[in-house]
Structure 1
């Protein structure tokens, strides 16, 4: 064999693209879904920008969705994460929002999908996407005539849903695009899926002031030192003593299932309809209240005021496990 000292060296292997998040727009352009390379997924209806599914890498669903939830844009969705704006509940004594339906119009309006952005994990061995952010927009031009008439203010909302390997972040930016000031409330109405409400407790609300909407008349009191447990119909608006940065933790059977940290969302609503669920036409199965608990980050005690051109932002970060 003849030695060839100048023979060409072997070409180095060309690296392939790192695994990327997969985005899909489906159901006649009415839903947006995202799946990370590691398997976590989220699905959002453009109707209400309502998150209807959030699964971990093993495919375990984290959100409760009623079996009778309307997903055809005919009614606000029962379950998932509906978005409340510009009023929480009804406010007959607040003139600016008194004509709006319960929880406002954001959850019953069609939003625009504005696109996605991703981030790569520096610690990931494959360099693939470790998160994906989906942005949705709603403005005056998206509203139906009835909503425009009931709330005639120039506004713009950007709602961002960020799916990560360890959790889910939802954030909202509210901008006054009109010429005069207006007030609003907002809330992320999260229905968490659990196995047995009797084994569930919520910590992080100890010794916190709360409004109990079940009592007649509605009362304001302070919670005891222990975690909150659910033993009947519950509808409370807490102002956690630890502030938004202190986690509110949902545990089941002594194990942490979800941890919620808030930014600029000073209140936490805890809701379970208990046996009243049986009288709700879109709540199924009838015993489903045993498998869900709503722990909802919001700004709903009083009103947020925006002058012309001003912007407000709030968010929640949900992580799973310990």
Structure 2
């Protein structure tokens, strides 16, 4: 029997360094993760597998993303928690001529991305650090199942920008092929909350949505604000351009405000007790009480990208000041 070495444990982000003069970027010993930190203590950790944001820490040392205790962080499968990148299909689309054979949520979250570099702003008024990651149809790290199932030439640039009060993730999808392709994009963000029973979600009143828990029926949100009291899986199409935030309010205080650029949908997801119990990588079993997914995406239909053209989208999660 061949015994595979155990992957290095996922360690907590280092304690804030008060003496640092500028943003810093460091790699794990196995070059599998990159961590960016501001001198004021804020930090973000990204796993190259999937370009998945694993952790986001605010200046007070609090983790702002939910990450399953059983999440695979060794590159063996997609990560349960953090911010996985969904591309080129959301869920599955068995009837779509191009994406019909793709696995759930596509292959971006199961490919190893390349770290392209960093850029920083060191002004006191705009302290930030941006990490860029790349994945293409020619990349060595591309999931080997991708090309046979989705044989298009493409290039993805994914950027993660950390500032003192926010985290921004953005993606650029470029069509390098000689024919158009359809795609969907989503940022599957797991936000950490103290108690889901005390959470309200604002900014969705009057929006139409597809209720995937109720037979994919199309409905209109009449609750203001929205509360989570059971399994929830809804694809919202809010009015406006995304500049009006969808906010998470806990015990009467706003904890997150999410704005969008060119991402017309917002998925709200919580598995609740029964579904969480059926997920091998969801831990602890009652972890659904401490998370809610607010997922900006372009998934209500398909984005047709012509040869040489690009699709761009972004989300910004802002913390209260």
Pair in the same fold by TM > 0.5: yes
1:258 to 256, 259, 271: 256
Q: What is the deviation of 1:242? A: 3.6
Q: 1:306 to 1:283 in 2, by over 3 A?
A: same
SS in 2 for 1:145: coil
Asked if the contact 1:131/1:164 (under 8 Å) is kept, the reply is yes
Structure 1 unaligned segments of length 5 or more: list them.
Answer: 1-16, 124-128
Asked if the contact 1:112/1:138 (under 8 Å) is kept, the reply is yes
Residue-pair matches, total = 300
Give the whole-Å Cα distance in 2 for the aligned partners of 1:27 and 1:281: 28
Q: What is the deviation of 1:246? A: 0.9
- The aligned counterpart of 2:8 is none
Question: Equivalences for 1:1-322 in 2 at 5 Å?
Answer: 19-123=21-125, 130-142=127-139, 143-215=142-214, 217-275=215-273, 276-321=275-320
Question: What's the CA shift string for 1:98-125, capped at 9, x where partnerless?
Answer: 11110000000000000000012254xx
Q: What is the deviation of 1:245? A: 1.2
Give the whole-Å Cα distance in 2 for the aligned partners of 1:313 and 1:118: 22
Asked if the contact 1:68/1:284 (under 8 Å) is kept, the reply is yes
Asked if the contact 1:50/1:81 (under 8 Å) is kept, the reply is yes
Question: What's the CA shift string for 1:150-189, capped at 9, x where partnerless?
Answer: 0100000000000000110000000001110001000000
Asked if the contact 1:20/1:37 (under 8 Å) is kept, the reply is yes
Q: What is the deviation of 1:220? A: 0.2
Query: What CA RMSD, in Å, does the superposition of the two structures yield over aligned residues?
Result: 1.3
Give the whole-Å Cα distance in 2 for the aligned partners of 1:286 and 1:146: 31
Give the whole-Å Cα distance in 2 for the aligned partners of 1:177 and 1:243: 28
Asked if the contact 2:68/2:281 (under 8 Å) is kept, the reply is yes
Question: What's the CA shift string for 1:277-319, capped at 9, x where partnerless?
Answer: 0111000000000000000000001100111000111001110
How high is the TM-score relative to the length of structure 1?
0.91
Question: What's the CA shift string for 1:39-81, capped at 9, x where partnerless?
Answer: 1000000000000000001110000000000000011000000
Q: What is the deviation of 1:19? A: 1.3
Asked if the contact 1:206/1:241 (under 8 Å) is kept, the reply is no
SS in 1 for 2:289: helix
How high is the TM-score relative to the length of structure 2?
0.91
Structure 2 unaligned segments of length 5 or more: list them.
Answer: 1-18
SS in 2 for 1:270: strand
Q: Which runs of 4+ in 1 moved over 6 A?
A: none
Asked if the contact 2:85/2:186 (under 8 Å) is kept, the reply is yes
SS in 2 for 1:33: strand
